[in-house]
Amino acid sequence: MDAPHPNGFHSGSRLERVLRAGHFAVTAELGPPQNADPQVIRQKAHLLAGVVDAANITDNQTAIVRMSSVSAGAIALQEGIEPVMQITCRDRNRLAMQSDLLGAYALGLRNVLCLTGDHQSFGNHPTAKNVHDLDSLQLIQMVVGMRDNKTFQCGDPIKGLEPRFFVGAAANPFGDPFEWRPLRLAKKVKAGANFIQTQLIYNVPRFAEFMDKVRQLGVHREVYLLAGVGPLKSPGMAKYMRDEVPGLDVPNEFVDRMTAAADGIDKEDKKGRSAAWKKEGIQIAIELIQQMRQIEGVAGIHLMAIEWEEAVRPIIDGAGLLPRPEPEPVAAAAPQLQRDADTA
């Protein structure tokens, strides 16, 4: 499976080059709007420019209809943000996914994150039919096959330029069964994943336990793992994530810290309390990044400041991760790709 392009890179994306150069990578999330306004993407992109190596463009996140990740990714690219196009198995079959991959590559997108997708019952179209023609492992195989074997999923050759993506997958260290999670990660790497972004991590000791197992399997040497970090905005959000969100493990310590952050501030001073909570949330995120950076096998972080893109810069700055590195360009990439196009 692992047959890099003759230029030495799978896709040559900025994210791939940052990771290959051994830098501690930073990605964030850019949620497309629930409307057709490109300005929303541009504004969010400006908040992330120069702060992250790439930004994930979510694909109908939590099963709520949003601008497509292909088009939002293309707009982000125009604004100087390298997108990681998320693609879920919930809404499209293998034909639609492959045509989107061809189109996304043609528009300049170079990273893909392959996901199962939240169940549609969480979103705003709970009566929809779900697809799940492929699962996330099979999706990884398909994207890698298009790149390394130059074939469509059916086995037909791609005549002409093949889409060459740096292929990512997700891992939830706190999903059940806990003992199976490192093995499932290994399975995704076996399918061909080049990088992994994890679910939000608050319980660092438990995550370290997960990483012990990942290292025992040797998987950390075959894949770049970016640990998921998310700033808490309020004690209410911390409690909600602790109690209500499947697959999240939020220790009480953080709920208590968030609550204590507004101690002594008048209950009527809502602005003051909110500012104190946000400050503490940013501080906790910085500490989490510093702790996770110490864990062997963690190659970077994936910051999910959902609808709070303003928090990204202070967190990345506070964690000592600015300025972002400028990785070497792909020397042979341009002529190589040109040659491929010529022989097509």
Partner 1 sequence: MIIAEQKPFDEIKGLIAGADNVLVVGCGTCVTVCFAGGEKEAGILATSLRMATKIDGAPQAVTHTTVQRQCEWEFVDPLAAQIEQADVVLSLGCGIGVQALAERFPKAIVVPGLNTSFLGQPTEQGVWEERCAACGSCVLGLTGGICPIARCAKQLLNGPCGGSQNGNCEIGHDTPCAWQLIYDRLQAQGRLHLLMDIQPAKDWSTSRDGGPRRITREDLRLTAEISE
Q: Which residues of this protein are in contact with partner 1, per CB under 8 A?
A: 89-90, 94, 116-119, 121-122, 130, 132-138, 141-142, 153, 170-172, 175-177, 180, 183-184, 186-187, 190-191, 199, 246-247
Nearer to partner 1, 12 or 173 (CB): 173
| φ, ψ at 77 (rounded to 5°) | -60, -40
CA-wise closest residue to 304 among 26, 22, 25, 67: 26
Find the shortest distance in angstroms from Cβ 237 to partner 1: 19
Find the shortest distance in angstroms from Cβ 96 to partner 1: 14
Helix or strand or coil: residue 306? coil
Nearer to partner 1, 209 or 317 (CB): 209
Find the shortest distance in angstroms from Cβ 154 to partner 1: 9
Nearer to partner 1, 34 or 93 (CB): 93
Cis peptide bond upstream of 33, omega within 30: no
Q: Which amino acid is at 92?
A: R
CA-wise closest residue to 21 among 227, 296, 292, 324: 324
Find the shortest distance in angstroms from Cβ 281 to partner 1: 23
Q: In the beta sheet, which residues pair with residue 157? A: 151
Report the Cα 142 to chain-centroid distance in Å.
19
Nearer to partner 1, 247 or 329 (CB): 247
Helices (H), 125-249: 136-144, 181-191, 204-216, 235-243
Find the shortest distance in angstroms from Cβ 181 to partner 1: 9
Burial of 167 (0-12, 13-18, 19+ CB in 10 A): buried
Nearer to partner 1, 55 or 248 (CB): 248
Find the shortest distance in angstroms from Cβ 199 to partner 1: 6
| Helix axes 270-293 and 252-261, enclosed angle (nearest 10) | 140
